[in-house]
């Protein structure tokens, strides 16, 4: 593998956090300031209500959103466009998270439209894929993930600078369960092959994050797996201490 960008550790706060939670962004900045040799990029994706203040509080930490509408503007009550995000200094957006696929029936084709919108605005798209427990038990994990990647990431316009893939087995999210190191290695290797097939040299450089119950105590092992280029972290990203424990374990 050549020229891979720095690994990325991104925190997904989901629907958590009032204004007071912004002190966690400040605390993270303080930790970064005293560790100048970090071997990864850091990102926090707070709820939409905190995005604007978070971009003001953040210096080194990137700020990402958790969803977006594909249109530039228009009659879409309650939605936010990619241009609105870049306007306030947001640099990335999580797309196709399994909770959006489950709670809002989001399909890969819609995710692909949002990815294209992210590219239009110059946002990094973190595209989430992953199988359910039933799909894994049926031996379908690789098929499901391959299909999601092929259908969620448009060939045109996608490259290693604007796409990050996050492999998040649905059964590992928020459960404390993680796949075995071998299973992670196998899936990430297959995703790498698929990305190389789709994007040639860029596919070799796209970061592939692992997500699902990542914490300080398992980060070194999971982040040490070949083709794991960072983490997407839910629960353990809410407190700067827990989040930074992941960074300390894997990327100091
Ligand atoms: P978790 O969530 O770390 O709480 O398992 C991960 C995610 O949904 O991105």
Average pLDDT score over residue span 172-184: 98
**Rounded Cα–Cα distance for residues 31 and 96 (Å):** 30
Ligand 1 pocket (Cβ < 6 Å) reads: 12, 168, 173-174, 211-214, 232-236
Structure confidence by residue, pLDDT tens digits, 94-142 = 999 999 999 999 999 999 999 999 999 999 999 999 999 999 999 999 9
Burial class for 180, CB neighbours closer than 10 Å (0-12, 13-18, 19+): exposed
Distance from the alpha carbon of residue 158 to the mean position of ligand 1, in angstroms: 25
Cα atoms in the Cβ-side hemisphere of radius 13 Å centred on 62: 21
In the reported structure, the alpha carbon of residue 135 is separated from the centroid of ligand 1 by a whole-number distance in angstroms of 19
Ligand 1 mean position, distance from CA 110 (Å): 22
Asked about 156 being catalytic, the answer comes back as no
- Among 214, 215, 219, 243, which residue has the most ligand 1 atoms within 8 Å of its CB, making it the best to mutate? 214
Atom of ligand 1 nearest to the CA of 214: 3
Residue 36 has a pLDDT of: 84
**What does the pLDDT read at residue 2?**
52
> Dihedral angle at the C-alpha atoms of 93, 98, 109, 119, nearest 10 degrees?
10
Cα distances (angstroms) measured from residue 117 to each of 103, 132, 157: 22, 27, 10
Report CA(33)–ligand 1 centroid distance (Å): 26
- Position 4 scores a pLDDT of 78
Atom 6 of ligand 1 has which residue's CA nearest to it? Answer: 234
Q: Which CATH architecture has domain 8-14+40-68+77-251?
A: Alpha-Beta Barrel (3.20)
| pLDDT tens digits, 201-252 | 999 999 999 999 999 999 999 999 999 999 999 999 999 999 999 999 999 9
Helices (H), 3-81: 22-33, 51-57
* Longest Cα separation, the chain: 47
Is it the case that residue 64 has pLDDT exceeding 60?
Answer: yes
Q: Is 104 a catalytic residue?
A: no
What is the sign of the dihedral through the CA atoms of 34, 205, 72 and 167? negative
State mean pLDDT over 176-188: 98
How does pLDDT run across 24-34, given as a tens digit for each residue?
999 999 999 99
């Amino acid at each position: 593998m050549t020229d891979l960008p720095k690994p990325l550790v991104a925190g997904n706060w989901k629907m958590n956090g009032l204004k007071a939670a912004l002190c966690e962004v400040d605390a993270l900045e303080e930790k970064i300031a005293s560790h100048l040799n970090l071997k990864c990029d850091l990102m926090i994706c707070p709820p939409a209500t905190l995005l604007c203040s978070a971009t003001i509080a953040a210096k080194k930490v990137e700020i990402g959103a958790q969803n977006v509408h594909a249109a530039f503007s228009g009659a879409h009550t309650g939605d936010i466009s990619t241009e609105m995000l870049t306007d306030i200094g947001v640099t990335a957006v999580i797309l196709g998270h399994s909770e959006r696929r489950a709670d809002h029936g989001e399909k890969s084709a819609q995710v692909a439209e949002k990815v294209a919108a992210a590219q239009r605005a110059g946002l990094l798209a973190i595209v989430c894929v992953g199988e359910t427990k039933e799909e894994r038990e049926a031996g379908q994990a690789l098929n499901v993930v391959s299909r999601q990647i092929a259908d969620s990431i448009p060939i045109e316009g996608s490259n290693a600078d604007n796409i990050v893939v996050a492999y998040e087995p649905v059964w590992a999210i928020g459960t404390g369960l993680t796949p075995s190191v071998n299973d992670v290695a196998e899936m990430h290797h297959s995703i790498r092959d698929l990305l190389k097939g789709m994007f040639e040299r860029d596919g070799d450089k796209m970061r592939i994050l692992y997500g699902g119950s990542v914490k300080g105590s398992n980060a070194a092992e999971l982040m040490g797996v070949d083709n794991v280029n960072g983490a997407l972290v839910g629960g353990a990203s809410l407190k700067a201490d827990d989040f930074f424990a992941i960074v300390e374990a894997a990327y100091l």
